[in-house]
Amino acid sequence: MSGPDQVARTLLKAALPSIPVVNRLPGVRKTAADPSSLHELRSVTPDPDHVRAYARVCGFPVKDDVPLTFPHVLAFPLHMAVMAAPEFPFPAIGTVHLANTITRQRVLKVGETLQVEVHTSPTRPHPKGTAIDFLSRVSVGEETVWEGVSTYLRLGRREAGPARGLATSAGAGDEADRVVPGRVTWRLGGDVGRRYAAVSGDHNPIHLYPLTARAFGFRRQIAHGMWTLARCVAALENRLPEAVRVDAAFKKPVFLPGTVAFGQDAHDGEIAFALTSPTTGVPHLVGRTRAPA
């Protein structure tokens, strides 16, 4: 799977189960099977122009290294392919990105050929519905160089069993939940979602225009969670070691255009960071960096 047209087709397919009547058709209807059997794999060599464009949109310096968060963009089409499968229990539209963990073992260089693999965990109860993890792995030959865990939530009636928040594998629970006061103010334009969509392939309508966002219950468009994380990581980039783990939890949406405050606090080899409202201090994103386990 490659190219923006293919990604757009997959996004459309993943959205079809949200449409009444259409969601009953063969090939669209969800079968409620075990999603942990789903698996996607692709080989890709990041395009230098793509990497540079992503770096500019997210605030990373432009160089021959692949930004820490960029492999998520390579895994995203595979996330959508999994969500589009009848065996995946939820429609992609209305599924909320709760948290993300990234573990990098070494810096990736532009031009390296990467194997990108995605599979899912079993679903589990969550206080607000049902959660599931997407596990992404990027390898060069036999070497695993990057891993990501994206935790998604389907709002609604939760499964039977004890409810838990974020997956322990995501690592973005209480330890990453400290809200660091904002010290630097960022003013975000109304086009941030469209610019990030162009480099990430994530054209979810809630991120694009006020009209398309209002169709899904938002008063205007919101920033992608992974853009907010990438922008925070970019602000820390020159302080991060080659091998690093980043845990983040997405709290409140960032409406566009808007203003946010970024804060960081380094202690004992870790950096806690947060993106908050500059007027109320309410967190949009909280996270931390640390050495890989």
**Alpha-carbon Rg of the chain, whole angstroms?**
18
Angle at 227 between CA 98 and CA 64, to 5 degrees: 125
State the helix-helix crossing angle for 225-236 and 192-200, rounded to 10 degrees. 90
Beta strand 39-44 with 124-126: parallel, antiparallel or unpaired? unpaired
In sequence order, the 6+-apart residues with CB closer than 8 A to the CB of 214 are 220
In sequence order, the 6+-apart residues with CB closer than 8 A to the CB of 167 are 99, 121, 124, 131, 133, 149, 151
- Model-level pTM? 0.85
Q: What is the CATH number of domain 4-290?
A: 3.10.129.10
d(C-alpha 75, C-alpha 272), whole Å: 26
CB atoms within 10 A of CB 113: 10
The number of C-alpha atoms within 13 Å of 207 and in the hemisphere containing its C-beta is 21
In sequence order, the 6+-apart residues with CB closer than 8 A to the CB of 17 are 23, 28, 29, 30, 90, 91, 92
Preceding omega of 257 cis (within 30 degrees of 0): yes
| Whole-number pLDDT of residue 49 | 96
d(C-alpha 155, C-alpha 96), whole Å: 8
| Whole-number pLDDT of residue 100 | 97
Run means of pLDDT, 10 residues per run, the chain, 293 residues: 50 52 48 70 94 97 95 94 85 86 96 95 90 96 96 75 46 61 95 96 92 92 97 96 97 97 94 97 96 91
| Whole-number pLDDT of residue 172 | 44
